[in-house]
Amino acid sequence: MVDGATPKPPTPATDNGWRATLTDPTVVAVVVYAAVALVAAVAAYLTIFTGFAPYDDEGTLLVTLNAFAHGDVLYRDIYSPYGPFYYEIFGGLFALTGHAVTTDVSRSIVVLIWVGTSLLFGLAAQRLTGYLALGVAGMLAAFAALFVLAGEPMHPQGLCVLLLGAFALLVVAEPRRRVGWAGAGAGALLAALTLTKVNLGVFAIAAGN
């Protein structure tokens, strides 16, 4: 640009490009879901870090996870009525990251699961109906229903609902070109669910059939 010259205003094509971007349905959906997820994360954090159940299921689960992360053998050295997938995922996560198995870390994980699962169900609702508003409503409904996660942090039910949310989104996505891969993914999710809580896995497989 020559010194002293007046900058040229944006061309109409540039303005139209920005407007098209800002009104693009995908961009709008990302912004809306991100805003809802942020508010949900704050609400989940305040809820889960300001309450404590009189029973100690949380402590029992953390003790078994800590033992598994430090090399104790599940079902021989560690008693648990739950499946091995739960311990492989979370025990392995603690072992690989080097984080101590504490209530702060575990409850932070539950916040992520709570919000993430709600988002998965919201996306599934939008995919199924084609409406962003119904997707957001589905996310909020799922978030409200998953309030039970705050009562028993790190209970395997948290992992179960996360797997179910991923399964629901995968099923309604209706992949046309990679049906085999989608079927394999759905089968893997149901297998992981069964290896976490066998009763929920059986019910989910029966419902799918």
Tell me, letter by letter, the H, E, C secondary structure of 51-90. Answer: CCCCCCHHHHHHHHHHHHHCCCCECCCECCCCCHHHHHHH
Residue boundaries of the structural domains of the chain? 32-208
Locus of tokens 């962003």:
132
Single-letter residue type at 177: R
What is the structure's pLDDT at 12?
A: 55
Tokens linked to 73: 């053998």
- The model's pTM: 0.85
Say how many CA atoms lie within 13 Å of 99 toward its Cβ.
16
What is the structure's pLDDT at 4?
A: 54
What is the structure's pLDDT at 98?
A: 84
What is the structure's pLDDT at 58?
A: 83
Torsion of Cα atoms, 154 then 160 then 162 then 167, to 10°: 170
- Tell me how far the alpha carbon of residue 21 is from its chain's centroid: 28
What is the structure's pLDDT at 114?
A: 97
Give the closest residue to 82 by CA, choosing from 196, 202, 158, 159.
196
What is the structure's pLDDT at 52?
A: 72
Q: Which residues of the chain have pLDDT under 50?
A: 1-2
How would you classify residue 55: left for phi > 0, otherwise alpha for psi between -120 and 50, otherwise beta?
beta
